[in-house]
Amino acid sequence: MMLQPDILAYNEAIMPPPGVVSAAATSGMANNANGVHHYQHHQYQSGSGSSSAVALASTSAINTKSIQQNVIIANAGLSYEDVLNDDFQFDMDGHDVMVFLHIQKTGGTSFGRHLVRDLDLKRPCECQRQRKRCYCFRPHRNENWLFSRYSTGWKCGLHADWTELTSCVDIELDKNEGETAKRRYFYITLLREPISRYMSEYRHVRRGATWKGSRHWCLGRQATAAELPPCYKGKDWLDVDLDEFAACESNLAANRQTRMLADLALVGCYNKTAMPTHERDRVMLASAKRNLAAMAYFGLTEFQKMSQYIFEETFNLRFAIPFEQHNTTISASAVNNLRPDQKKRIEELNSLDIELYAFAKNLLFQRYGSSKFERLKAKDNDFEKRFANLGNIYYKQGVTEFNWDSNIDDALSTDH
C-alpha cells in the first residue's frame, strides 16, 4: 500500500504479542480482511471483557504475517491514493462518511467547529445555539456524513484514537440510523509540532483539564488502572509544575500523536509488558506512519494554507473562511523559555512524535509537489487565483475568520 522508504514494507513482519495473534486466530478470522479489529468490533458490540480475550490467548497456531496484514487494513477507510483517482467524488448523497480523529491540542477544536459551520454545502449543518452539537445530514435524507465531536458527539469515547474509531464507528452509525449500511469511510486528522503540542497540553492540564472520560478501549476492553495509573490524586492536576508533569511515566501527553494514530492491538494495547520497550516503540511508530499515510487526508497546524487547499481539493468541498497562519503561539513562546535540561527531557519523551511529525511533514510536501498533486492542480483552471483567495466565498463574507492557533491554548474545557 505504502511506498515510503521509512515505513515498514507492507509485507514486513510487525510482530504483535502472542496473545493478540492467538485471539484473532481462535476467533476464526485470521485469513479475512477483518482480522483483529473484527474481533475487537465483536467485543465492543457484545460488551464482553478481558477474560474471554485471555482465554483465547492460549492458542498460537496461526499464519502471523497474514494476521499482520489483516490488522493493518481493517476498517481503516479509503486512502489518499484512492481519493486521487480521476473518477473519485466524495458522495454526500450516498454512504460516504468523513471521520475526524481529533488529537488533543492540535487545533482540532477550531477545525472541528469550522467543519460544521463554514463548509459550503448544499445542505449546511444545522447548529443550535447553546449546544455543542450540529446536525450534519445528507442533502436528501437525515443521515450523518460527518463523524466528529460537533456532529455526532464523542460516540466512540472522548478523543477516540485510531484503535477505538476503527472498531466503533460503523456500530455507532448503525445504532444511530437504525439500519446497517455499507459505508465508505474517510479518516482525517491534524498533527502539530510535538514540543509545542506537548507544552500546550501541559498548560491545559495545569489549568484543570483531565480528559477523564477517555475510555482507552482496545481489543474488547478498557485499559486497567494498573496499565494506566493516575499521575495525580484528587479531581485534577491543577497548578502542576512542568518537571512533575514530565516525570509521570503513565502521562499520555508523551508521544500522544503516535499512540493515537497507531493500531494498539499490535503492541498488546496498554499492557507494556507484552513486549520490550524498544520493540513496542518501533512497532507503534511504524503503525502510526502507515495509518497516517493511508488516511484520506491529514493537515499540519504549521502549514495551514497548504492543508486547506489539499482538503478542499481532496473532497471537492470549499471553506468559507481562510485558514490563517500564526507562527507565534503561547506554547511556542513557552518552548523558548524552557531550561536546556527541560527541553532535552521533553524531546526524549516525545521522540516518536518528533519522528512521526518529520515523516508527516515530508509526506505532505511530497504530496504537494507530487505528480498526483499536480494532477489535482491541473483540474483546477483557476488554481493561482483560488489558492491566493482560499476561503473567500463571496456570499459568506463576514463569517469569522478561522484562526487556528490563537484560541487553542486559551479555551479550557475538560473535553477539548
In terms of phi and psi (left: phi > 0; alpha: psi -120 to 50; beta: otherwise), the region of 239 is left
Rounded Cα–Cα distance for residues 291 and 358 (Å): 15
pLDDT, residue 376, reads 63
With cell 483517482, the residue in question is 85
Structural domain including 104 reads 66-389
pLDDT in tens, 16-26: 544 444 333 33
Q: Which element (helix H / strand E) includes 98?
A: strand 96-101
CB-neighbour burial class of residue 231 (10 A; exposed 0-12, middle 13-18, buried 19+): middle
Q: Are strands 96-101 and 146-147 parallel, antiparallel or unpaired?
A: parallel
Rounded Cα–Cα distance for residues 189 and 77 (Å): 13
40 three-state secondary structure: helix
- DSSP letters spanning 228-243: S--SSSSS--TT--HH
- Within 8 A by CB and 6+ apart from 130, the residues are none
What cell was used for 130?
Answer: 447553546
244 three-state secondary structure: helix
pLDDT < 50 positions in the chain: 1-13, 17-42, 46-73, 395, 397-414
Rounded (5°) CA angle 189-304-6: 55
Task: Tell me whether residue 59 is in a domain.
Answer: no
Rounded Cα–Cα distance for residues 277 and 261 (Å): 18
pLDDT, residue 5, reads 45
Rounded Cα–Cα distance for residues 163 and 337 (Å): 36
Rounded (5°) CA angle 226-227-232: 70
Q: Which element (helix H / strand E) includes 290?
A: helix 277-294
CATH number, residue 147: 3.40.50
Catalytic residue check, 41: no
CB contact at 8 A, 298 and 29:
no
Using CA atoms, how far residue 320 sits from 30, 81, 115, 298, 391, in Å, is 46, 26, 10, 19, 4
pLDDT, residue 131, reads 76
Active-site residue, selected from the candidate residues 38, 102, 114, 159: 159
Task: Tell me whether residue 28 is in a domain.
Answer: no
In one-letter notation, the amino acid at residue 264 is L
The count of structural domains within the chain is 1
- Within 8 A by CB and 6+ apart from 42, the residues are 27, 220
Q: Which element (helix H / strand E) includes 138?
A: strand 137-138
In one-letter notation, the amino acid at residue 365 is F
First to last CA, the chain: 33
pLDDT, residue 37, reads 46
What cell was used for 22?
Answer: 492467538
pLDDT in tens, 131-162: 778 999 999 999 999 999 999 999 999 999 99
Task: Tell me whether residue 57 is in a domain.
Answer: no
Longest CA pairwise span in the chain (Å): 63
With cell 469511510, the residue in question is 185
Task: Tell me whether residue 37 is in a domain.
Answer: no
pLDDT, residue 309, reads 87
